[in-house]
Amino acid sequence: MAEENKPAPAAGGSRANTKKELPEHFKAYKHVWVAVEIEHGQVHSVSFELLGEGRKLADKRGVELAAVVMGDDRASLDAAAVACFEYGADCVYLAQDPALKHYRNETSTKVLTDIVNTYQPEILLLGATNLGRDLAGSVATTLQTGLTADCTELAIDDEGSLAATRPTFGGSLLCTIFTLNYRPQMATVRPRVLAMPDREEGRTGRIVEFDPKLVEDDVITKVLDFIADRDTDKANLPYADIVVAGGLGLGSAENFQLVKELAEVLGAEYGGSRPLVQKGWITSDRQIGQTGKTIRPKLYIAAGISGAIQHRVGVEGADVIVAINTDPNAPIFEFAHLGIVADAVTLLPALTDAFAARLRVNRLAS
Amino acid sequence: MHIVVCIKQVPDSAQIRVHPVTNTIMRQGVPTIINPYDLFALEEALRLKDRFGATVTVLTMGPPTAAESLRKALTFGADRAVLLTDRYFAGSDTLATSYALSMALLKVAEEFGKPEIIFTGKQTIDGDTAQVGPGIAKRLDYNQLTYIARIVETDTDAGTIKVERRAEGGLQVLESKLPVLITMLEASNEMRRGSIENALIAARAEVVTWNAAAVGIEDLTKCGLRGSPTIVKKVFAPTARTDKAEIVEVDGKVDAKAAALVEAIFAKAPAVEQDLLEHAAHHYV
């Protein structure tokens, strides 16, 4: 069991008493790392978003930014390394092995843990995707260190520690979490929570090869097949330019159609708040918020959504947030850029018509 | 076959209120429920019970009142309930929680037989971390299968299991060997109704209750706050944006309001107007 790796626990231990000396054997841990997510040869954009943020953290600490890339195909690993350099990495740890063809918890946990133990980073960031969460939980347990999931903000505090902020209590408040006495300090961030950094063409760095020493016969779990999703009717909320969403203020599942009609005229994606998923008005892949999708559109229209924190953190990256709500004191007006106090059920059809008139198209609804 | 389902009793988040002045959670009177994601895990375990005659044990760590959630699980058809409760567990983060639960699971194995499958939900609605399942798997050296949309087949003789796992852009079809820890995806099945017969059994059932010592935890520094590497330094409500929302106020009919809102939106987002007009020109001329 992983227990044997556990460093001596720090004495004391009340969370109020947080001023503690980092144990001696952790003082060598240095640099900020991003574990890059590669599936089917493609780097997930969340990894570049993390490199953008990691660059800022590394500069604040005066250390290097490194990326870890793992896979089986040399060409796609090299391409991933180039992209990592151009998005801000100084160094890429590259692990190539036939057993890393597909993501598997067993192989990736072993390789990432081995690289961490060999090169000792102070901060390790992963995307809060299914892959990243699956991997981060195993790696943190193996290393016996702290892991903060689904952060909405990362910063370095005055003492040089990672301050990881995330929603808490079901998304009703925010909290800032530290891992003071263990290394690396680990955190995951959802796609689109952080801005995509600019790509600096031609920027380069050094590659450190790492031999994973995997033997396929020793790996228990086998990948038999991959059933790709059909593209039809699959929501792509995180990367949509315009998003229209509805909340409980719509009053009924039937009225959600009004959101879809506006979305259609605008060529937008549509979604809803968490209670709508719980009521079965929309499917979970269209849920917007902390436990659903994080979006960063140019325009976000929220109809009948009150704007609880768990929703807010999922939409704050939008350039322009428009709120339609009957309650002038609804929290959504505290972070919207533009608002109107009105009943979404009557305003939405009029808004759809007004947009259609402006864009000289006829309303497409029946 | 022996299956353990790890559940958590959580506050019904739909009814959580934050105190407007102190920004603290008002816990009084908030009803508790079984973490909704755990019900998919429980149902999947009960389906295996129906098919293979498995014994299903539900396990939770929490205050003594968490026994209510265990009894609820019994009404759905679970066979045995185990509560791990001790004041030393208070303030546990995910690492300390997975330690305590893994010790309890070893005790469960010793008392009632080693589980071939441990189920958890994909995450809880209060913590939302999705870390405890992987933590338990790693500590007990179980093969880890997270975000499982479907169990395709279970071969108890060969000791193999085939599943479909939700991944980016599709489903990974995986084959692994028992014992495994599975976290079930939401909407992967539909929870059955509890039966009156089971409710009667549940009301009378003994909830096996263990503290830290009972599950063999000798080093209490691995538990609770002391065993948690993460430290919560502050809890706060987000501040309002410094520039307040511009409110569109128009008297008159809804059409006038809508037209004014469209103008206000385009004034704030001229690039969006540009994109839309170009798009419209291409498609609707």
Q: What one-character-per-residue DSSP string does A308-342 give?
A: -HHHHHHHTT-SEEEEEES-TT-GGGGT-SEEEES
In angstroms, the CA B253 to CA B244 distance is 25
Cβ of residue B126 closer than 8 Å to a chain A Cβ: yes
Query: Phi, psi at residue A36, to the nearest 5°?
Result: -80, 135
* pLDDT confidence of residue A15: 43
Q: How many CB pairs under 8 A join A and B?
A: 295
Tell me if chain A has a CB within 8 Å of the CB of B161.
Answer: no
The answer, for B275 touching chain A at a CB cutoff of 8 Å, is: yes
Single out the residue of B124, B94, B99 nearest to residue B32, CA to CA. Answer: B124
> Does residue B240 belong to the interface with chain A, where contact is any CB pair within 8 Å?
yes
Q: Which domains does chain A have, with CATH numbers?
A: 24-218 (3.40.50.620), 237-358 (3.40.50.1220)
Distance CA B54, CA B77 (A): 11
Which of A100-109, A257-266, B24-33 has the weakest average pLDDT?
B24-33
Half-sphere exposure for B54 (CA within 13 Å, toward CB):
28
Closest residue on chain A to B241 (Cα):
A335
CB of B183 closer than 8 Å to CB of B121? yes
Instruction: Determine the Cα–Cα distance for residues A310 and A289; give it in Å rounded to an integer.
Output: 6
Fold of B2-227: Rossmann fold (3.40.50)
Tens of pLDDT, residue by residue over B7-50, are 999 988 666 666 666 656 666 778 899 999 999 999 999 999 99
CB within 8 Å of A2: residues ≥ 6 apart? A141, A142, A144, B138, B139
What is the distance between the alpha carbons of residues B183 and A164, in angstroms, rounded to a whole number?
Answer: 26
**ipTM of the complex in this document:** 0.90
A221 and B143 within 8 Å at the Cβ level: the answer is yes
Q: Does position A191 have pLDDT exceeding 50, yes or no?
A: yes
Rounded Cα gap, residues B13 and A270, in angstroms: 24
Residues 128-157 of B with CB under 8 A from A: 128-135, 137-141, 143-147
Mean pLDDT of A304-310: 91
Q: Residue A6: list chain B partners with CB under 8 A.
A: 222
More confident residue, B213 or A239: B213
Q: Closest approach of chain A CAs to the CA of B113, in angstroms?
A: 19
Write down the pLDDT at residue A232: 52
Residue A173 binned pLDDT confidence (cut-offs 50, 70, 90): confident
pLDDT, averaged across chain B: 92
Which segment of A15-29, A137-151, B264-278 scores lowest on mean pLDDT? A15-29
pLDDT band at A4 (very low <50, low <70, confident <90, very high): very low
CA angle A6, A9, A10 (to 5 degrees): 145
Over the stretch B41-56, which tens digit does the pLDDT of each residue have? 999 999 999 999 999 9
Collapsing DSSP to helix, strand or coil, A216 comes out as helix
Helix (H, G, I), strand (E, B) or coil at A138: helix
pLDDT > 70? residue A161: yes
Q: A343 near B255, Cβ under 8 Å?
A: no
Domain ranges of chain B: 2-227, 240-285
How remote is the C-alpha of A245 from its chain's centroid?
20
Closest to A190 measured CA to CA, from A135, A272, A139, A133: A133
Strand partners, A271: A245
Q: Would you call B276 and A335 a contact, using CB atoms and an 8 Å cutoff?
A: no
Contact B92, A146 (CB under 8 A): no
Chain centroid to Cα A346, Å, comes to 35
Hey, are the CB atoms on A39 and B126 less than 8 Å from each other? no
Element at B172 (helix H, strand E) = strand B170-177
Q: Is the pLDDT of residue A364 over 50?
A: no
Give the separation between CA B237 and CA B23, rounded to whole angstroms: 6
Which of 17-56 (B) contact A at CB < 8 A? 18, 23, 25, 36
